[in-house]
Amino acid sequence: MNASMAMSGDALRRRRTWGGTGMGPRLEIEDDEKDAEERKSVEAFREALIARDLLPARYDDYHTMRRFLKARGFNIEKTIHMWSEMLQWRADFGTDSILQDFVFDELEEVLRYYPHNYHGVDRDGRPVYIERLGRVDPSKLMKVTTVERFLKYHVQVLEKVFTEKYPACSLAAKKHIDTMITILDVQGVNWMSVGKLAHDIVLRINKIDSDNYPEILHKMFIVNAGNGFRLLWSALKGFIDPRTSAKIQVLGDAYRTTLLEFIDMSQLPDFLGGSCTCTNEGGCLRSNMGPWNDPHVMNLARCAQTSSRKRTSLSGEELTTPNSVPEVITRLEPDFPDTAPLTGLSRSFAVQSTPACENIKIDEHEASISLTSQPEVNNRIGGASSDNSMPENSSTKFLTLMRALTRFIMKLLAILLILFGLRNVAFHQVDVRIWDHHRMDSANANPTNHLASHDAKRDAVLSCLDRLQRLEELVVELNTKPKKIPAEKEIMILESLNRIKSIEYDLQKTKDALNATSLRQVELAESLENLKETSLHRNSCWFKDCKSLQQRT
């Protein structure tokens, strides 16, 4: 099996062009080597995690490790640090058991004051998440729940996305799905009232998502955005990671055409320009419409999850992929007792669910048992009826020979089905692979500088958001104050002004008195000086008279 997979992989590398699927022209494939390098990076990352004992069995998944590597620009050391922090956060937050332990009883009231939910899928099968921010009432929302409980609810929803929505979408789309479309309707948003909610909840949710659930956003549409929001976005866009900002598209009120390019009208709610109303379920944001709401699809997903996990071959070691589409080639036949065993088309559907970049390794023992269960029953019946006509040892040898022959034929058919399935899924996923790898070219050109600049830009954005929050708090404080002065305070102010005027009048009188006193002092000083001069003059005249008398005598 591994040899056949390797041969098919070599053939894919040698073949530089792929035929289309009938939907468009032939596409030139130039990223096979890039895909091989990506797989080598995932392999090296996996070996590094195993060496550090940081790879629990439930996270031994190719796609999960690739998402974390993408988030850190395929820098293994930084990704290991991010991975270890993720494991520690899950242990501290209780994420692994949050689906069973946490019950969000206030969900109905939260949806009333914060309309949001998943609704339908896009044209490629990804789930669509919708929020109507213009109808958010932060004050009432915080009365029916708390920030901590809302964060737990958010994490629980994300865990359901990975355990229910992604597997169901992957089965329905017949390819691996691990990203989503997000639509934010900002019509009528009161940014002053939403500011505190954004500071308390949105920033913390963004940190949880970026640190522990990276690279799950395929595209985000912000619709009904006004001119002010567009100006703000154009200013903040330079501080955001270019790979993330490329996924975000800000639209005005003429958004319908753009949304319909990605989402079918039947999957889009009527308030966003679609045709879906979900009147019987209380509205589109209450219906939870999607493949995950289909009992048949969920039955397939649960049945496949309870069976042995699909394994992929990565450098001679088995790599489980619990988040990929599970193996349903043979183990789903008991769920359909009224129908014949799975046809070639059904088996091709199951095989196409496997990503083309992985080498499939089938558990031959289980496959042979499942595929030959019906022939073995028939053989046993035939053997029981022939016990009367042949010896027991001959019957046993005949049954053994038939079983061996049946196993050989079924294994051969399984190999052929897998080869054809890989061929088909490669044609289906060629567009996605080209898009994804071309997007990675610019991001991986210089991962070290890119991540350093990203961290600096993120710090700048956070500081700007903190300043905006402080300004909003000051404005809110000013708005809470009354616009007019109360009558009592106005009377007190008038009395104070009158007292101030009287004090000023007294001060002026005192000043005038001081001036008059200073003038009198100056006059007295001048009078004293005059008296002194007069007395000196008289004394000098007396001495002269005395001398003249003495001379006469």
The span from the CA of 468 to the CA of 480, in Å, is: 18
**DSSP letter for each residue of 13-27:** HH--EE---SSS--E
Residue 134 and residue 281 in one domain:
yes
The residue out of 247, 270, 293 marking a domain boundary is 293
Q: Which two tokens stand for residue 296?
A: 């048949």
All residues at 6 or more sequence positions from 195 whose CB lies less than 8 Å from its CB, including other chains: 468, 469, 472
Domain assignment of residue 390, yes or no: yes
Give yes or no: residues 211 and 113 share one domain.
yes
Three-state DSSP state, 118: strand
So what's the pLDDT on residue 356? 36
Q: What is the DSSP letter of 134?
A: G
Give residue 345's domain range.
2-30+295-443
Q: How many distinct structural domains can be found in the chain?
A: 3
Is 64 a domain residue? no
| Confidence label for 244 from pLDDT (cuts 50, 70 and 90) | confident
* Residues shown for the chain: 553
Residues 408 and 508 in one domain: no
Same domain? For 273 and 140 the reply is: yes
> Which token pair is 140?
């009432």
> Which two tokens mark 40?
């080598």
Whole-number Å distance between alpha carbons of 469 and 288:
34
Identity of the amino acid at 101: D
Give the domain-ending residue among 242, 270, 293: 293
Query: What CA–CA distances, in Å, run from 20 to 23, 429, 439?
Result: 7, 10, 21
Return the DSSP state at 325.
P
**Cα–Cα distance, 247 to 261 (Å, whole number):** 15
pLDDT of 14-65, one tens digit each? 333 333 333 333 333 334 445 788 899 999 999 999 999 999 988 898 999 9
Of 106-115, 329-338, 388-397, 439-448, least confident by mean pLDDT is 329-338
Whether 316 and 286 map to the same domain: the answer is no
Are 350 and 357 within 8 A, CB to CB?
no
Q: Are residues 235 and 304 in the same domain?
A: no
On whether both 302 and 281 belong to a single domain, the answer is: no
Whether 76 is in a domain gets the answer no
Q: Are residues 436 and 538 in the same domain?
A: no
455 lies in some domain: no
Same domain (yes/no): 339, 395: yes
Angstrom CA distances, 384 to 369, 376, 377, 405, stand at: 20, 12, 11, 19
390 and 262 in a single domain? The answer is: no
Confidence category of residue 211, pLDDT binned at 50, 70, 90: very high
In a domain, 57, yes or no: no
Query: How would residue 117 be classed by pLDDT, with cut points 50, 70 and 90?
Result: very high
What confidence score (pLDDT) does residue 437 get?
52
Give yes or no: residues 254 and 313 share one domain. no
Answer whether residue 54 is part of any domain. no
DSSP 340: P
The last residue of a domain, from among 293, 328, 349 = 293
Q: Which residues lie closer than 8 Å to 534 by C-beta, 6 or more apart?
A: none
In a domain, 250, yes or no: yes
DSSP string of 356-378? Answer: TTSEE---HHHHHHHHTHHHHHH
Provide the CATH number for the domain around residue 162.
3.40.525.10
Query: What does the alpha-carbon distance between residue 193 and residue 184 come to, in Å, rounded to a whole number?
Result: 17
167 located within any domain: yes
Same-domain pairing of 21 and 113: no
